[in-house]
Amino acid sequence: MFAGEFSIRKQQDGVAYTLAGLSYDTKFNLAKALPLPWGDAFFAVAPGSRYGQTPKLGSLHPAMMKAAAAAMRAVRGST
C-alpha cells in the first residue's frame, strides 16, 4: 500500500465491507481522485450482486475512519 491509499477487503473488514456495498475487495487511492461519468463503464452492476440489478452507493463504516483519515493526511502531507 502506498501513501494516500487504504483498502476494504471482504475477509479482513467484514461488516465494513458489507456496509460499503462492495462486490470485490477494493483499494481507494485518495491521491488520485477523478470524476467519473455515471454509466456502465464505471458503475455496472457486478456479477452476482447481492443488491439486485441497481448499482448501490455504500457508506464508510466507522471502523474504516482511521484508515481513511491516515490516507487523507498522507495526501495532504500532514502527520
pLDDT of 9-65, one tens digit each? Answer: 999 999 999 888 888 899 999 998 889 888 888 877 777 666 666 666 778 999 999
Domain that holds residue 70: 5-76
pTM: 0.76
Among candidate residues 67, 70, 54, 77, the one with its CA nearest the CA of residue 8: 67
The whole-number pLDDT of residue 4 equals 95
The length of the chain is: 79
The whole-angstrom separation of Cα 58 and Cα 48 is 17
The whole-number pLDDT of residue 52 equals 67
The whole-number pLDDT of residue 46 equals 74
Query: Total structural domains in the chain?
Result: 1
b/e 2-25 (16+ beta carbons within 10 angstroms → b): eebbbbbeeeebeebbebbebbee
